[in-house]
Structure 1
Amino acid sequence: MMIPCVLNSELVALDAWGSPEDIGATTIEGPIAVSGKFLIGGPDKPVFGGLYAATRGTYRVVYAFHEHATLLDGEVAITDEKSARTVVYRPGDSWIIAKGTDVTWDIRSETIRKSYIATTIDL
């Protein structure tokens, strides 16, 4: 199976996941609606991935998994709370966030969408 995840193109319908609180985060400024689709595995598996989207706002989360992601749509500033480093991401930009990292997401566009692969396996 091959599922394209291309910039600025909604090829896969996403499921409503609720608010940041429903995925283990804390809303700082919102309301924020999150959605996604698991394309491989799921949160009960050691490796999973798919698509994730969120609306404008700010939330804080401690990562429960290691993640590599690429932003497909929108603009988001992600701050590593420990180092206070903020990086602004736009379509085509990627990041790696390690399990246990405390970050703040500042979604600056109406929506963002990313593709990602994640693992809960300690590296």
Structure 2
Amino acid sequence: MHAYLIENQYSNLADWGAPEDIGAATKSGSIRISGKIDLGSPESPVFGGLYAATRGVYSVVYPFHEHATLLDGQLLLTDESTGTSYLYGAGDSWLVRKGTPVRWEIKSDRVLKSFLATTTDL
């Protein structure tokens, strides 16, 4: 079992670089991302862990299905195919289907989410 407690999590994350390093496109800001995988790997059918990003805007087409919960910060997610946006705060969750183009607008200095993803086509 992994407990994701805010006060301990940011210091345990690996630097994953810029959004471009994970297949996304930066729209504004000098975004840095970090994270850790606690279950599986991105090459396995199911994987999960923590993901953090600093303030800015980027767009990504999701390469997997994901359920995530925002643990810290404030985040505006926009489904770029429908234009629908939701503002998330700590404790809020979302579900994204593989192939969905999503705009991330990180409103706080940083955000932290826990996630569970599957690369399997459903």
Assess same fold via TM > 0.5.
yes
Alignment map for 1:61-72 (pairs within 5 Å): 61-72=60-71
Partner of 1:33: 32
Alignment map for 1:2-13 (pairs within 5 Å): 2-6=1-5, 8-11=6-9, 13=12
Structure 2 CA distance, aligned partners of 1:46 and 1:9? 30
The TM-score, its normalising length taken from structure 1, stands at 0.95
| 1:9 alignment partner AA | E
Structure 1 CA distance, aligned partners of 2:82 and 2:65? 18
| 2:7 alignment partner AA | S
Gap regions ≥5 residues in structure 1:
none
Instruction: Tell me by how many angstroms 1:30 deviates.
Output: 1.2
Structure 1 residue 74 corresponds to structure 2 residue 73: yes
Instruction: Tell me by how many angstroms 1:70 deviates.
Output: 0.1
The TM-score, its normalising length taken from structure 2, stands at 0.96
Structure 1 CA distance, aligned partners of 2:8 and 2:112? 9
Instruction: Tell me by how many angstroms 1:10 deviates.
Output: 2.7
Structure 2 CA distance, aligned partners of 1:79 and 1:10? 29
**Which consecutive segments of 4 or more residues in structure 1 shift more than 3 A?**
none
Partner of 1:116: 115
- Deviations along 1:54-97, one digit per CA (max 9) or x if unpaired, are 00000000000000000000000000011101100000000000
Structure 2 CA distance, aligned partners of 1:9 and 1:67? 24
Alignment map for 1:82-93 (pairs within 5 Å): 82-93=81-92
| 2:42 alignment partner AA | P
Query: Identity, % of aligned pairs?
Result: 55
RMSD of the TM alignment (CA)?
1.0
Instruction: Tell me by how many angstroms 1:99 deviates.
Output: 0.1
